[in-house]
Amino acid sequence: MPRTYSLSRYILPALLLLFFLSGLILLRKFYVQNTILVPAEGGTYIEGSVGQLQPLMPWFTVKNDVNRDIVSLVFSGLQKYNPSTGKIEDDLATLTVSDNKKIFTIELLENLYWHDSTLESPHPVTADDVIYTFTTIQDEDFSNSLLRQNFLGVEIDKLSDRKVRFSLVEPYRFFASNLTIGLLPDGAFEGVPISKLDQALDFGFNPIGAGPYKFKGMVQTELSTEVTLERFPRMFGDEFHLERAIFRIFPDYTTLLSDIRNLDGVRLVPRNDQGDPIIPKNFTAAQYTLPQYVALFFNVNNPVLQDLKLRLGLQLGTNKQAIVDSINEKIIIDTPLLEIDTSDWRYQFDSNSAQGALFSSDWHLPQKVRLQRALEQREVNAVGALQVEPIAYLATGAALILTGSTLDTDEGSTLNDVLLEPHPSMTGAWIVALPTNGQTGSILPGENLLKLVDSKGNAIDSAYLWRTTNSKSFKRAAEEQRLLAHFIESRDGSVPFEDRITTADLYIEDGMLRRRLSTDPYDIRVNDKGEKLSLRLLTTENPPQYKEIAELIKKHWEPLGVHIGIDVPKTRSKFEEKLIDRDYDILLFGQSLLDNLDSYAYWHSSNMQQFTDKRSDLRIDAYNLSQYSSLEADSLLELIRKSDTDEELQESLDELDEVLKQDVPAIFLYSPLYTFAYVKNLQGVELGSPSLHSDRFLTLQRWFLKEERTFIANKSWISFIPWLFSLI
């Protein structure tokens, strides 16, 4: 009896414990089955970059991508680019466009506020801020000439406190892209001359915008400059999950790596010699391209480069694959619209085709000039009354005996002013002995033109004779004659393909042709005036890959007979001076098309540099780097901006591609590949198709570091009982 009672004391608590544990298990199972993980608010994103922080103003971010990243979060524009769709969308305002693409009207959203707003002192975004932002850009003293150019001739009118109208002189399909620049509050730079706005440090290092994150502060540490942004609640659009974004700006990548454990993201990750991103394993590498290209721009103002065959030959002789392989790039392009055209022979690397194009140009290899002359002389000697061997080995004092038919001559005819005599042993033939000792009619060492004339001085025939006085030079001349015969047979196809020779297989030594050896240097092409084909290639020190590419171009074109001198100025200012002056034959440089692929600024003739007697007339915003002028291209570039439909736009783009393909104003090489790295626990990162590096933050509302569970639709804790009965 005592033992039974002892056991019963534990049975009930055990059953209760089992019931409780089973309930917990069921509750958890129900919760997991009926909830999903969703991003949670909170968390601080810390990003490292290499560069130098400058005043944070949307007007002046063109040359500073580090600034542009921060500015893109602090400031918002009337419109924004969507990297997911590749389209321009509404941001702070809705946009209405007239049918003729000349009137763009914006209406600001309601409840828009600047970051310095408080409940006691609200600071709303108004039409006055829009007017201030864009009319300042239009001022002639505004220092960002590229931005000012986008608003030339545009009338800006305030229609109400929330409405502004932009009136264009000409239709411009892509004008909405100009409205993505961040707005600035009216009067933010009161008292600052417009020409000095980029030096307004008070605002630049304590900016006030209307973007999703507001400027919290800046700290200078031993390793970096640190800028902290905090989420700014807005009553429209998507909610941002991240509470803070901190940007740490390092002087170099080595210093950045020393702080890598404290970073969640790294912009513009460099690659090692194998082309792999230099980041720890716990980071994810996201690669992307921008609408950018690197090209070799021909300065067609140079008379030498006005030769289309020369430009085509240089394009055919450029090995783009070798270039991208050497600098760890991947995206080869053939056109300024970032396309690759594998179907067109003009874009394919082919040294033989390159030589063929150059063969038809105004520039010839010395061996080609020699070959052409030797073939002409051979043809002259092969026909007519005067049949002469092309070479002779004669010591001084000897005489060259020549004979011919009297049917072709009359009494008193002469050869080289020496009277022809009847041949003593051949009826109907003449004979003459041409001296070599300097007398009348002497054959001199080197090339001689023998002239057969009748008694009245009329030319009957002529022939070329090359005389030498030593056996070594005679052997060289004999070898040249053998090669001439071989070349003719190769040209006529009378020898097997593998035995044929071309101009590229020949080399000149001491004025005579011979077979080229692998150790022979390459000859430089010459024109009819004997001038050598030597071109100067200008590029910049940054990025350093440009100098490596320039060396490769020099190497690629050397076998074509083109000499390249590489010019890399030591300072940015020196380079820009040469750029503005068009002080180059070829320019290795990059250009960016932004989101709309509008290449008007780069290829329309209105953007050529115009040279006058005044240096002050030179434009820093003359972006037609090839000095390219084409009525057909100009018309298409204008039509592209005015096109009403996507079909019209694509048709004009295709036609423009064909015109540039025919004219070869530049050799388009590649589109740079970039890498953005982030820690694996940062989720929601989708870069899409950015047009700028900072466009990755246009999807920041999807990024999150924290998660939480929430019930799926029509489910809650009340649903537990029905769910439990469903298991029975």
Shared domain for 129 and 29, answered yes or no, is: no
Q: What are the tens digits of pLDDT across the range 40-59?
A: 889 999 999 999 998 899 99
Shared domain for 56 and 104, answered yes or no, is: yes
| Whole-number pLDDT of residue 314 | 96
| Whole-number pLDDT of residue 432 | 93
Q: Among 251, 267, 283, which residue terminates a domain?
A: 267
Q: How far apart are CA 281 and CA 259, in angstroms?
A: 15
171-175's contacts with Cβ under 8 Å and 24+ in sequence apart are 171/100, 171/101, 171/102, 171/641, 171/642, 172/101, 172/102, 172/641, 172/642, 173/101, 173/596, 173/640, 173/641, 173/642, 173/643, 173/649, 174/596, 174/598, 174/641, 175/101, 175/104
Shared domain for 541 and 393, answered yes or no, is: no
Shared domain for 600 and 633, answered yes or no, is: yes
Shared domain for 647 and 721, answered yes or no, is: no
Q: How far apart are CA 319 and CA 173, in angstroms?
A: 37
The answer to whether position 690 is within a domain reads: no
Q: Please give the share of the chain, as a percent, with pLDDT higher than 90.
A: 62
| Whole-number pLDDT of residue 402 | 93
Please report which confidence band the pLDDT of residue 720 belongs to, taking 50, 70 and 90 as the band edges: low
The answer to whether position 131 is within a domain reads: yes
Please report which confidence band the pLDDT of residue 64 belongs to, taking 50, 70 and 90 as the band edges: confident
Could you tell me the residue range of the domain that residue 149 belongs to? 44-267
**Mean pLDDT throughout 165-186?**
93
The answer to whether position 81 is within a domain reads: yes
Shared domain for 564 and 656, answered yes or no, is: yes
Shared domain for 51 and 27, answered yes or no, is: no
| Whole-number pLDDT of residue 62 | 66
Structure tokens at 365: 């290899």
Q: How far apart are CA 304 and CA 300, in angstroms?
A: 8
Residue 23 has pLDDT above 90, yes or no: no
The answer to whether position 510 is within a domain reads: no
Name residues whose C-beta falls within 8 Å of residue 311's C-beta, 6 or more positions apart in sequence. Answer: 298, 305, 664, 665
Q: What are the tens digits of pLDDT across the range 261-285?
A: 999 999 999 988 888 888 888 899 9
| Whole-number pLDDT of residue 1 | 47
Shared domain for 19 and 55, answered yes or no, is: no
| Whole-number pLDDT of residue 728 | 64
Mean pLDDT of the chain: 90
Q: Among 439, 472, 491, which residue terminates a domain?
A: 491
Shared domain for 326 and 376, answered yes or no, is: no
Q: What pairs with residue 673 in β-bridges?
A: 289
The answer to whether position 97 is within a domain reads: yes
Shared domain for 315 and 388, answered yes or no, is: no
Shared domain for 253 and 337, answered yes or no, is: no
Count how many domains the chain has: 4
The answer to whether position 286 is within a domain reads: no
**Mean pLDDT throughout 139-153?**
88
Q: What pairs with residue 296 in β-bridges?
A: 588, 667
The answer to whether position 61 is within a domain reads: yes
Q: Among 267, 302, 331, which residue terminates a domain?
A: 267
The answer to whether position 677 is within a domain reads: no
| Whole-number pLDDT of residue 2 | 52
Give me the CATH number covering residue 621.
Answer: 3.10.105.10
Residue 246 has pLDDT above 70, yes or no: yes
More reliable by pLDDT, 201 or 496: 496
More reliable by pLDDT, 262 or 720: 262
Shared domain for 20 and 116, answered yes or no, is: no
**Mean pLDDT throughout 648-654?**
89
Q: What are the tens digits of pLDDT across the range 409-437?
A: 999 999 999 999 999 988 899 999 999 98
Residue 365 has pLDDT above 90, yes or no: no
| Whole-number pLDDT of residue 27 | 72
Residue 651 has pLDDT above 60, yes or no: yes
Q: How far apart are CA 267 and CA 247, in angstroms?
A: 10
